[in-house]
Amino acid sequence: MRLITFFIFLLTAYLTTSSWPASATLIERDYLEWGDAGITYDDSSGREWLDLTFTRTMDFAEYQRFLTTANNDGWAFATSSMVGDLFSQFSFSSVHNQDYGTATSYQDYYYYSPRKQGFSDLVDSLTILGETMSLGTKFDSVQFYGVRGYVDTGIVGEPSQYMAYKNEKIGVVSLGSFKGNAIGNRYESFFTYRDARAETIFEQPTFSIINQQPIQVSEPTTFGLFTLMLSFLAFRRYRA
């Protein structure tokens, strides 16, 4: 009877964990030196994303020169579809979501006022890609925090932006519809990618006390194995 009870529990645990939605793993990697976390690796697409902070305040001409200079590193201007796929991994879409707040739509963007905690949490998770807003607005009366970057639409002179940012009261969103030319604004940046390479492991400075770990989302299989292990231990204890 105990054995039957155990297998019922085991089956329940498996069905529960296998029903959890799978999500891609995004892992921070160092780019130029230990601890800079300048790259976000996406194992679902096999791409690496350069943190938005690296191209911050560049106008389009400066960005083109940057790509030429950095060409030996393989960086390129990301397309709308690439960044759209990247944002979708955060369960972020252009459909208004009442869990984010009360939405007001405009031609090029929409915002939530007041915004809810769900939108705040979403922006916090997106900043793994490189936060571009608050540093540029520290002298402004309105403090914004979040991400904002241009994407390649394929039309010369008409790049658009993907953005998600917030302040204490509102949240602002644009998923490629906000068009304009990069003029080197203090909070503008560019979504930049390359095909993933073997991770460079930098030697940790001996004087540093920082312990920075990769940020990643655990897959359902990991949870399942962990649950099964706990189930086995619980069963052994129950029999004892």
Q: Domain coordinates of the chain in residue numbers? A: 29-214
Who wins on pLDDT, 94 or 64? 64
- Judge residue 14's burial from the number of C-beta atoms within 10 Å of its C-beta, 0-12 exposed, 13-18 middle, 19 or more buried: middle
- Reported in sequence order, the residue ranges of the chain that DSSP labels E, i.e. its strands, are 26-29, 39-42, 47-50, 76-77, 101-105, 110-115, 145-151, 160-166, 171-179, 192-195
pLDDT digit string (tens) for 49-88?
A: 999 999 999 999 999 999 998 777 999 999 999 999 999 8
Spell out where 45-100 has E strands. Answer: 47-50, 76-77
What the block records as the tokens of 27 is: 């892992």
Instruction: Give the H or E element holding residue 121.
Output: helix 117-126
**pLDDT tens for residues 4-50?**
444 444 334 333 333 333 345 899 999 999 999 999 999 999 999 99
Which pTM was predicted? 0.74
**Where residue 207 falls among pLDDT bands split at 50, 70, 90?**
low
